[in-house]
């Protein structure tokens, strides 16, 4: 690199040196932990494992830290259809209180578009004011989303130098990997465990629970002291290559590397190892050891197959039946990336639009209900009016019939009177 591009190497270098990396969360799984209980309970084989929800829905974190001890707002990638964030996932995010960006991809992982969106909408937005006219140094791994031409061109146009770790070296060289993420995973596991303990296992870990569990863990983990320690322990700032190089000072030939364990279902390899260790020993103990190894290998393979089938059956028969509400996201495309990262204010506005839409929908339902009631009332009125008219018509017919009968009876009576008078005259 030429001298102009080395402008970032000055007294403000720490404030302009950043590391970004990603970390995945299976939101219901906790890391291994130690438990204390009595030997009696252990022998009962009922309390050998800690409570665990087991929800493997995936959320990816995009984290970035600075060598001056600060951290950029985290980016969270949920699993779902593009640009369809469910309101329940982000209902706990409050603008002004939570500084976080969210987006969604079908697998829940980052991709080229999300990587470029993070660079444009988050990194550049939160670092350009502090950098002013200085160059920024962004230290990244070799993930494909970080080394696209669009990503590199944007960095060149916005005075950002890229430093890419060699392959398979981030576990030793990258600040986030070496220090931060292990503690973040531990704190998140503790938060999940506490959540399950408080609910006594009745309430599982859903996507709607993830943010508050994550945010509590993020605040506990990403302190200024830890971030400074991360850069120091990797020799990036203060610059000290010996911090890393000293780990390989020992003669590698003198180090003993433990071979990996044999898979439980690989009985042939287990039997070969048994023969190599035990040799020609034909004692009862040796034969019992061989039978025990064979029994454990077969049992493990059977249990693995049964567990796989049961897991599939439970997953098929126990879908989450919860009403989902997609946020009304109307953010316009900015920059070159097709992906969008949504800030707390954008989420708040989307939730507000959802509430307005829900209020409008309820008002329309109420209006339709009133219309249905009015139509039913009108139908009833028409029916009653028709019955009234029918009854009035029937009454008029009955009155007319009675009047005609009375008139006929009166005529008959008068005729009889006339006939009687004539009979008297003739006699």
Convert the pLDDT of each residue in 36-76 to its tens digit. 666 776 677 665 566 666 788 999 999 999 999 999 999 99
pLDDT given at position 327:
80
Q: What does the buried/exposed string (b/e) look like for 18-57 if buried means 16 or more CB atoms within 10 Å of the residue's CB?
A: bbbbbbebebbebeeeeeeeeeeeeeeeeeeeeebbebeb
pLDDT score recorded for residue 263: 82
Q: Give the number of other Cβ atoms within 10 Å of residue 271's Cβ.
A: 14
Q: Tell me whether residue 386 is in a domain.
A: yes
For residue 258, what pLDDT is reported?
A: 73
Q: Which domain holds residue 384?
A: 345-426
- Cα separations in angstroms, 141 against 65, 123, 134, 239, 282: 14, 16, 23, 19, 55
For residues 219 and 197, the answer to whether their CB atoms sit within 8 Å is: no
Q: What CA dihedral angle connects 377, 381, 387 and 392, to 10 degrees? A: 160
Distance CA 347, CA 155 (A): 28
**Cβ partners under 8 Å of residue 58, min gap 6:** 24, 25, 26, 27, 79, 107, 108, 109
Within this chain, do residues 38 and 181 fall inside the same structural domain, yes or no? yes
First to last CA, the chain: 157
Calpha distance 91→76 (Å, rounded): 14
Residue 255 lies in a domain: no
Closest CA to 52 of 217, 182, 190, 201: 201
- pLDDT score recorded for residue 332: 62
In this structure, are 38 and 176 located in the same domain? yes
Which of 286, 301, 327 marks a domain boundary? 327
In a domain, 289, yes or no: no
pLDDT at res. 29: 86
pLDDT at site 170: 93
pTM: 0.66
Domain boundary among 294, 327, 360: 327
189: nearest Cα among 44, 39, 353, 33: 33
Residue 193 tokens read as 């465990």
Contact indicator for 25, 188 with CB cutoff of 8 Å: yes
Judge whether 155 lies within some domain: yes
Strand partners for 75: 62, 101
Pair (47, 193) in one structural domain: yes
Q: What does each C-alpha distance from 377 to 169, 188, 364, 374 come to in angstroms?
A: 78, 60, 19, 5
pLDDT for 8 equals 46
DSSP per-residue string spanning 88-156 = GGSTT--TTT---EEEEESSSS--HHHHHHHIIIIIHHHHHHHHTTS-EEEEE---GGGSSHHHHHHHH
Q: Alpha-carbon distance 359 to 298, whole Å?
A: 61
Across the chain, mean pLDDT equals 86
Domain at 176, CATH number = 3.30.420.10
Please give the Cα distance from 334 to 118 (Å, whole number).
12
Pick out the chain residues at pLDDT < 50: 1-8, 10-11
The first and second tokens of residue 133, run together, are 């006219």
- Structural domain contains residue 93: yes
Q: Which residues contact 348 (CB under 8 A, 6 or more apart)?
A: 93, 94, 95
- Going by their DSSP bridges, the two strands 75-79 and 136-140 should be labelled as unpaired
Residue 415: phi and psi, rounded to 5, are: -65, -40
Closest C-alpha to 335, from 159, 156, 151: 151
User: Cβ contacts of residue 195 below 8 Å, gap of 6+?
Assistant: 203, 205, 209, 213
In a domain, 263, yes or no: no
Whether residues 224 and 372 fall in one domain: no
Whether 355 and 240 share a structural domain: no
Count CB neighbours of 16 within 10 A. Answer: 25
Taking the CA atoms of residue 223, residue 226, residue 230 and residue 233 in that order, the dihedral angle to the nearest 10 degrees is 160
Name the E strands within 311-401.
none
Contact 57, 207 (CB under 8 A): yes
Q: Is residue 251 part of a domain?
A: no
- What's the rounded Cα separation, in Å, for the pair 74 and 95? 14
**Is 332 contained in some domain?**
no
Q: What is the dihedral of CA 175, 177, 182, 185, to 10 degrees?
A: 110
Q: Which of 292, 327, 362 is the last residue of a domain?
A: 327
Q: What per-residue confidence (pLDDT) applies to 37?
A: 65
How many domains is the chain built from?
2
Polymer length of the chain: 427
């Amino acid at each position: 690199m030429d001298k102009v591009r080395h402008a970032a190497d000055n007294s403000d270098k720490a404030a302009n040196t950043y590391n970004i990396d990603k970390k995945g969360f299976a939101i219901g799984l906790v890391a291994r932990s130690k438990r204390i209980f009595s030997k009696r309970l252990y022998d009962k084989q009922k309390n050998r494992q800690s409570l665990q929800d087991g929800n493997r829905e995936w959320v990816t974190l995009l984290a970035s830290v600075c060598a001056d001890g600060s951290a950029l707002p985290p980016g969270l990638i949920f699993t779902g259809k593009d640009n369809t964030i469910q309101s329940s996932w982000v209902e706990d995010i409050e603008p002004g209180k939570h500084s976080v960006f969210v987006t969604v991809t079908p697998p829940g992982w980052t991709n080229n578009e999300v990587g470029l969106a993070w660079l444009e909408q988050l990194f550049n937005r939160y670092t350009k004011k502090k950098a002013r006219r200085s160059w920024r140094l962004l230290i990244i791994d070799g993930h494909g989303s970080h080394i696209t031409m669009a990503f590199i061109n944007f960095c060149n146009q916005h005075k950002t130098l890229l430093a890419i770790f060699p392959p398979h070296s981030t576990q030793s060289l990258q600040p986030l990997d070496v220090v931060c993420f292990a503690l973040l995973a531990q704190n998140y596991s503790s938060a999940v465990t506490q959540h399950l303990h408080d609910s006594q296992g009745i309430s599982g870990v859903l996507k709607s629970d993830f943010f508050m569990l994550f945010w509590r863990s993020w605040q506990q983990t990403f302190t200024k002291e830890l971030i400074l320690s991360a850069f120091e322990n990797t020799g990036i700032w203060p610059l000290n290559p010996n911090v890393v190089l000293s780990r390989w000072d020992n003669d590698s030939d003198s180090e003993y590397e433990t071979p990996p364990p044999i898979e439980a279902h690989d009985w042939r390899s287990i039997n070969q190892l048994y023969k190599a260790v035990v040799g020609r020993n034909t004692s009862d103990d040796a034969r019992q050891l061989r039978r025990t190894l064979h029994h454990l290998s077969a049992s493990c393979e059977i249990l693995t197959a049964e567990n796989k089938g049961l897991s599939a059956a439970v997953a098929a028969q126990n879908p989450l039946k919860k009403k989902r509400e997609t946020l009304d996201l109307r953010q316009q495309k900015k920059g070159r990336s097709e992906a969008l990262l949504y800030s707390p204010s954008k989420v708040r506005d989307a939730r507000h639009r959802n509430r307005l839409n829900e209020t409008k929908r309820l008002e329309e339902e109420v209006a339709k209900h009133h219309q249905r009631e009015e139509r039913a009332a009108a139908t009833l009125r028409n029916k009653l009016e028709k019955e009234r008219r029918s009854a009035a018509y029937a009454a008029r017919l009955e009155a007319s019939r009675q009047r005609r009968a009375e008139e006929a009876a009166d005529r008959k009576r008068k005729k009889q009177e006339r006939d009687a008078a004539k009979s008297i005259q003739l006699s």
